[in-house]
Structure 1
Amino acid sequence: MSDTLEILLTNDDGIDSVGIRAIHDALVEHANANVTVVAPASDQSACGRSISHGGEIGLVDHELGYAVEGTPADCVVAGLAELGPDPDLVVAGCNRGANLGEYVLGRSGTISAAVEAAFFDVPAIATSMYVPVDETPLREIDLSTDDFREARRVTTYLAEYALDAGVFDHAAYLNVNVPTPGKRPAPIEITRPSKRYEMDAEATDGSVTLHDRVWESMDPETIPDPDGTDRRAVAEGRISISPLTAPHSTNHHETLTELAETYHDRVATADD
């Protein structure tokens, strides 16, 4: 690896979001990085690994790099295959709002950008910031680049040191979640994704309303998430880093193997 890091930067909040500007400037200023930005032209939050099919995707120059009329996964494919130099690292974020828990991993566009990079065998960091909400919708909360200072610090630190330390010999990507920044840098905890799931739905005449209740309380005194999980760490004011793998792996399953062995005989008997 050269002395200058080559980084592909993307997000799912859109190229004009405050979070991507904060991370871009920090990587350029403090990580000795050449940063190529390829990010969605508009907000693509919660799009997962959706990818555009069957046609051209709009692409325009932007002061940070390239704005793509598509998803974060589109941006990673375009950036790695065509628009940028071969990167040492892909960074996604910083996302406005945390990405915590197993069920969020497949839904988040930020995480999905990191997973897409893994299929190219490029290590990745996905960074998100927990933003407390009450009655004000998350998208209406006004944030400045300074509000992302915790995210800037830890993302820059990992970009500078994780590759040479061999972190990505054991992880395809890092899911990083930072708490609301305080006066001093928060401590880091290596975590696992919480298994807590609190989606439900309510049907009324002609519609169904989905509720994600997992965000209704982040009080560390009352949340049920155990020690060692990402939600517990962030709720208690620590930076959560979950080292994760991709693509999905399979487990040896003796019962399924036995069931498969009886398939032919049972189906043939049923058809007789």
Structure 2
Amino acid sequence: MSDGYTILLTNDDGIDAPGIATLREELTSLGDVTVIAPDGNRSGVGRTRNHTAVVREHPWGYALSGTPADCVAYGLRGLDTDFDVVVSGVNDGPNAGNYVVGRSGTVGAGIEAAFLGTPALAVSAFHTTDFFLSPPEEYDFSRPARVAVGLVERALDSGVYDDVDLLNVNAPVDSPNPPVMLTEPYHDYGQQVEEVEDEDDELGPDERRVELRDRTWPDAVGWENPFPLAETHRERYPVGTDRRAMVDAAVSVSPLTVSHGVADSARLADVIETFEVE
């Protein structure tokens, strides 16, 4: 690195979240940092985009009334700046596992950047016993932020982004010297559906309310902390997966591509060859 990098920083917890403040401060060691982040919490929106958004000037850059992907799109195409990299985070809570990664606004920002031709890194934080960082103001995001800075610098300098579109990183806030592991997102997801009753509901005779509860970790429903089951998870998740790295209090680094590559299916080729539209 000679003159420093030009960095676009965003998140999905909102521009006032403690994680992005810590990451911004650490990233200034690498170059010029422009923050374009949602004006409020936009967690779990994936790569959702809006047709319009309100942009408000902020001391760090801009607050935008949209999603993390909107922020990236505005930064990369709405500003007269050629950014070297997009960094998203530090997210309050981990983003590990195929399903969670696909729904994450933090990761969604990185995917948007990659589609627009800019390298990206998404970084999320977890606590090795508390799991979620709630309330986030009571936790120190410095270690995940330093991990992100080190990985951004090394990945850009070494040409990693010639082969990789996006690095998805999960780092512990409380492990003093965590090992850094090369990982891949692990698929483990379930859904629990239950009918619920609410006395205030004004539903029609042919309507009913249902609750859709994620089961993104075994034996944990919704936002429950799964880490008391660490020994069970250690047996369940293979070494080399992002979830196993988290259970082992390590930094998980998953190199991702976002090209939506085409699968080679001989069976589908046979279906198409014999398919006739009537």
Structure-1-length-normalised TM-score: 0.89
Runs of 4+ in 1 over 3 A off after TM superposition: 131-134, 137-140
Question: What amino acid sits opposite 1:226 in the alignment?
Answer: P
Which residue of structure 1 aligns with residue 137 of structure 2? 143
Which residue of structure 2 aligns with residue 41 of structure 1? 39
Which residue of structure 1 aligns with residue 257 of structure 2? 245
Q: Report deviation, 1:3.
A: 2.0
1-structure distance, mates of 2:68, 2:78:
15
Which residue of structure 2 aligns with residue 202 of structure 1? 194
2-structure distance, mates of 1:91, 1:4:
15
2-structure distance, mates of 1:147, 1:194:
27
Which residue of structure 2 aligns with residue 222 of structure 1? 232
1-structure distance, mates of 2:140, 2:190:
28
Which residue of structure 2 aligns with residue 159 of structure 1? 152
Question: What amino acid sits opposite 2:210 in the alignment?
Answer: V
Q: Do the aligned residues in 2 keep the contact of 1:93 with 1:127 (CA within 8 Å)? A: yes
Q: Report deviation, 1:154.
A: 0.7
Which residue of structure 1 aligns with residue 61 of structure 2? 65
CA distance 1:14–1:84, change in 2 (3 Å): farther
SS of the residue aligned with 2:100?
helix
SS of the residue aligned with 1:160?
helix
Task: Deviation per CA, 1:65-87: give whole Å up to 9, x if none.
Answer: 10000011110000001235111
Which residue of structure 2 aligns with residue 121 of structure 1? 117
Q: Report deviation, 1:62.
A: 1.0
Task: Deviation per CA, 1:170-211: give whole Å up to 9, x if none.
Answer: 1100000012323x2311000010111133221224322222
| Same amino acid, percent of matched pairs | 43
Gapped runs of 5+ residues in structure 1? Answer: none
Q: Do the aligned residues in 2 keep the contact of 1:115 with 1:247 (CA within 8 Å)? A: no
Q: Report deviation, 1:229.
A: 0.6
Q: Do the aligned residues in 2 keep the contact of 1:190 with 1:240 (CA within 8 Å)? A: yes
Structure 2 residue 266 is matched with structure 1 residue 254: yes
CA distance 1:42–1:80, change in 2 (3 Å): same
Which residue of structure 2 aligns with residue 24 of structure 1? 24
Q: Do the aligned residues in 2 keep the contact of 1:40 with 1:67 (CA within 8 Å)? A: yes
SS of the residue aligned with 1:259?
helix
Matches within 5 A, 1:167-186: 167-182=160-175, 184-186=176-178
Q: Report deviation, 1:234.
A: 0.9
Q: Do the aligned residues in 2 keep the contact of 1:150 with 1:186 (CA within 8 Å)? A: no
Q: Do the aligned residues in 2 keep the contact of 1:118 with 1:124 (CA within 8 Å)? A: yes
Q: Report deviation, 1:247.
A: 2.2
2-structure distance, mates of 1:9, 1:85:
13
Structure 2 residue 30 is matched with structure 1 residue 11: no
Q: Do the aligned residues in 1 keep the contact of 2:142 with 2:173 (CA within 8 Å)? A: no
Q: Do the aligned residues in 2 keep the contact of 1:125 with 1:174 (CA within 8 Å)? A: yes
Question: What amino acid sits opposite 1:98 in the alignment?
Answer: P
2-structure distance, mates of 1:253, 1:133:
44
CA distance 1:110–1:142, change in 2 (3 Å): closer
Q: Report deviation, 1:140.
A: 4.6
User: What's the RMSD between the two structures over aligned residues?
Assistant: 1.9
Structure-2-length-normalised TM-score: 0.87
Q: Do the aligned residues in 2 keep the contact of 1:125 with 1:173 (CA within 8 Å)? A: yes
2-structure distance, mates of 1:203, 1:250:
38
Question: What amino acid sits opposite 1:25 in the alignment?
Answer: E
Q: Do the aligned residues in 2 keep the contact of 1:8 with 1:84 (CA within 8 Å)? A: no
Q: Do the aligned residues in 2 keep the contact of 1:174 with 1:241 (CA within 8 Å)? A: yes
Matches within 5 A, 1:51-90: 51-53=49-51, 56-83=52-79, 85-90=81-86
